[in-house]
Amino acid sequence: MRIIRQKPMTLGERLYIFEAIRGLWTTLKHAARGLFDYDSLPTISYPEGQPEVRNTYRAKHRLMLRPDGTPRCVACGMCAAACPAHCIFIEATQSDDPRIEKRVMRFDIDHLTCVFCGLCVEACPVDALRMDTKVISFEHRTRDEFVSSLFDLTNWNPADYPEDEQSQKAPGGTLNKQALETWGMEVK
């Protein structure tokens, strides 16, 4: 048990009026800063201004790509099984690559239902799904537009992830040529 002893009030505090003036002065200082030095305020004019987030923040999903541009996803369904909101919809088909059994034909995530828990990312055995896009606000007119399709989830630019090796191996990345050679694929 911790006893917190209250300090006795001074005479100035007991007179109340001085403390009221002190509080008012603080309010006026903040109001003046908002009027004359707005840019120094720790606030953002949302939605024109967006907050800076780290890539570890659980933001909108993206599907990682192989060096040839196909999704790394092997359609195992682990992410959909782990999802507590049941908002991942996957359809699989046979892969043309003999090294891979299946590939995704449909991969939808309903971001209106998603609770951004990140369990799908944790469940993925091949690092095919990430939530490091830093996209944290979604503005759409219809509910359907909140459903991210396979095209939407794979439509990202390696230049936005300069420090991530896996992203740089995707088409357009700095390590793509090297990765294609390692994979035994034709370098265009």
Residue 76 phi/psi, 5-degree rounding, is -80, -20
64 within 8 A of 131, measured Cβ to Cβ: no
| CA contacts within 13 A on the Cβ side of 104 | 27
Return the residue of 59, 62, 66, 90 that touches ligand SF4, per CB under 6 A: 90
Single-letter residue type at 136:
I
Residue 153 near ligand SF4 by CB under 6 A: no
Looking at the chain, the number of H-run helices and the number of E-run strands are 7, 5
**Identity of the residue, 114 or 179, whose beta carbon is nearer to ligand SF4 in the bound complex:** 114
Q: Least Å distance between CB 178 and ligand SF4?
A: 24
**Identity of the residue, 65 or 88, whose beta carbon is nearer to ligand SF4 in the bound complex:** 88
Residue 150 near ligand SF4 by CB under 6 A: no
Residue 128 near ligand SF4 by CB under 6 A: yes
Tokens of 49: 């201004």
E-only strand ranges, 131-173: 147-148
Residue 65 phi/psi, 5-degree rounding, is -115, 150
Return the residue of 76, 153, 170, 179 that touches ligand SF4, per CB under 6 A: 76
Quote the DSSP letter at residue 66: -
Return the residue of 57, 89, 116, 146 that touches ligand SF4, per CB under 6 A: 116
**Identity of the residue, 88 or 179, whose beta carbon is nearer to ligand SF4 in the bound complex:** 88
| Whole-angstrom distance, CA of residue 137 vs CA of residue 51 | 10
64 within 8 A of 128, measured Cβ to Cβ: yes
- Residues touching ligand SF4: how many (CB under 6 A)? 27
Return the residue of 60, 62, 67, 78 that touches ligand SF4, per CB under 6 A: 78
Residue 65 near ligand SF4 by CB under 6 A: no
Q: Interface residues with ligand SF4 (CB under 6 A)?
A: 73-79, 82-85, 87-88, 90, 109, 114-120, 123-124, 126, 128-129
